[in-house]
Amino acid sequence: MSDQNDNPIRQAITEAIAQNDVILFMKGTPEAPACGFSARTVGVLQALDTRFAAVDILPDPRIRQELSEISQWPTIPQLFVGGELVGGCDIVTEMFESGELAELLGAETQAAASDPQVADGSTLQIENRLS
């Protein structure tokens, strides 16, 4: 494994994970996910009203390569909470449905549906939770 200081992408990923309580590495952005798995994971976080940082891995293939080496997880999206990898879309969805994700994130309430929806039944709108 190369020294982190010699690899600015690896260093930036490591710093981003350390500096953000909840961070999602995804394809696309929260406003415009580029795959269904990323969209679903964003929807779950929104259903729990979770503030999160997001990193689009698509602009540079080295981001995905370095991220997978750091996390030892091959697929995207990847959700980190408190500096630890939670998992990808399937794990995040299962944890959401069981209530475990709400507990991990300290969310007070959780929507009870496999497809996150708002109270009137409409699909959640994607919005950036970085601010």
**Share above pLDDT 70 across residues of the chain, in percent, rounded to a whole number:** 78
pLDDT confidence tier of residue 131, bands split at 50, 70 and 90: very low
Entry pTM? 0.79
**Where is pLDDT greater, at 123 or 26?**
26
Tens digits of residue pLDDT in 39-76: 999 999 999 999 999 999 999 999 999 999 999 999 99
Least confident of 9-13, 59-63, 126-130: 126-130
Cα separation, 28 vs 39, in Å, equals: 9
Q: Pick one of 1.25.40.10, 3.40.30.10, 3.40.50.720, 3.30.565.10 as the CATH number of 4-105.
A: 3.40.30.10
Q: What's the 3-state SS for the chain? A: CCCHHHCHHHHHHHHHHHHCCEEEEECECCCCECCHHHHHHHHHHHHCCCCCEEEECCCCHHHHHHHHHHHCCCCCCEEEECCEEEECHHHHHHHHHHCHHHHHHCCCCCCCCCCCECCCCCECCCCCCCC
To the nearest whole number, what is the mean pLDDT of the chain?
Answer: 84
**Where is pLDDT greater, at 131 or 99?**
99
If you average pLDDT over residues 72-92, what whole number do you get?
97
Cα separation, 98 vs 69, in Å, equals: 29
